[in-house]
Amino acid sequence: MLVDAHLDLAYTALEFGRDLRRPLAELRQAEQKQPTSNGIPTVSLPELQKGGVNLVFSTIFLEPVSKRSALASQKMNYHTAVEAHQKAHQQLDYYHRLADELEQVVLVGDTAVLQDLLTSQESDTPQLGLVPLMEGADAVRHPAELEEWWARGLRLIGPAWDDTRYASGAWRGTRAGFTSDGFLLMEVMADLGFILDLTHLSELAAQEALERYDGTVVATHSNCRALVDHVGQRNLSDAHIRLLGERGGVMGIVLYNRFLKQGHMKGERRELVTLDHVVAHIDHVCQLLGTADHVGIGSDFDGGFGWADIPSELNSVADLSLLGDKLQERGYTAVDISNILGQNWIRLLQRTWAK
């Protein structure tokens, strides 16, 4: 079983009107006539199951309206915390509807459901598990309401995408970190058992989270700054990767060409980036930490980019297993490959939810 630690399923469904229950070929055919700003789609529920990707950290993502509009979303953007709260619940409702309407889809939030999901992989009807992840915490109007979000199934929170009132984001190159509200947010998150996602935090905010957060810390979709530094603080420094490993966290490698190859920009020829670039980031983490136990996949497929901006060997999310062949070529053992493709994330969830 493969695990993808970052897919914007609800965002792409609600922002672009994609019916993710349909086969990918149908989605692509429909968007040939009416293209979206998100590029050629690479993800659908049937495509995930076709590729054996049966556990996904499924995001609640909204774009803040600001002078710098990276994705230029319309339906899923917000001006205020109240608006963010409302639209975030729409996305969480979307995941609940999938689980209610599709027998093979289940929301995963504890060890019992996770074990049922793992057991189902040996049957003729393997389930697809979704672990809700909030990317940017402005939808939390006050830390006191985190208990409500937990009860509805949210299990991971990334305090920032762009700047939020809780923490500074990586995009703007700021030297700021967490706010006073942000430190309170971390306290309540830890008390409830939330996993904190470092991805998109500014340099200082990531350092503060690694030093001060009492719960589990991960980076669901971050690459190595030592290999690609033209995206500034968005990729993790070696120092933060080391601290993440010391904290027992896992880092998901993003399969976005701009984050994989130094100097590569969105829209450049996809043939210039291959799975060798992905393996280079994985290998850097493994060499830095001396183990393959703290790295996995967080593809971010269809997260503001499409088919034209993923490694050239890949056509869709169903091809993620090809990464295993590349790792084998580099001398990784079967156990290491299994860990990188999913078991590292599964063990982290088991360990966190067993507390």
Query: pTM of this prediction?
Result: 0.97
pLDDT at 5: 98
Of 145 and 63, more confident: 145
Q: What interhelical angle do 238-246 and 203-212 show, nearest 10? A: 20
Residue 129 pLDDT level (bands cut at 50, 70, 90): very high
pLDDT-wise least confident of 23-27, 68-72, 80-84: 68-72
Q: What is the pLDDT of residues 194-215, one digit of tens each?
A: 999 999 999 999 999 999 999 9
Distance CA 274, CA 294 (A): 22
Residue type, 176: A
Mean pLDDT of all residues in 79-101:
97
Percent residues over pLDDT 70 in the chain: 98
> Residue 68: pLDDT above 70?
no
Residue with tokens 């120092």: 239
209 contacts 196 by C-beta, under 8 angstroms: yes
User: Any idea what the Cα angle at residue 45 is, between residues 41 and 50, rounded to 5°?
Assistant: 95
Radius of gyration, CA atoms only, the chain? 18
- Which residue from 252, 250, 268 is spatially nearest to 311, judged by alpha carbons? 268
Residue 142 pLDDT level (bands cut at 50, 70, 90): very high
Residue 355 pLDDT level (bands cut at 50, 70, 90): confident
Residue 174 pLDDT level (bands cut at 50, 70, 90): confident
> Residue 109: pLDDT above 90?
yes
pLDDT at 73: 67
Quick one: tokens of 159? 């305090």
- Which residue from 148, 127, 154, 149 is spatially nearest to 58, judged by alpha carbons? 154
Mean pLDDT of all residues in 25-33:
96
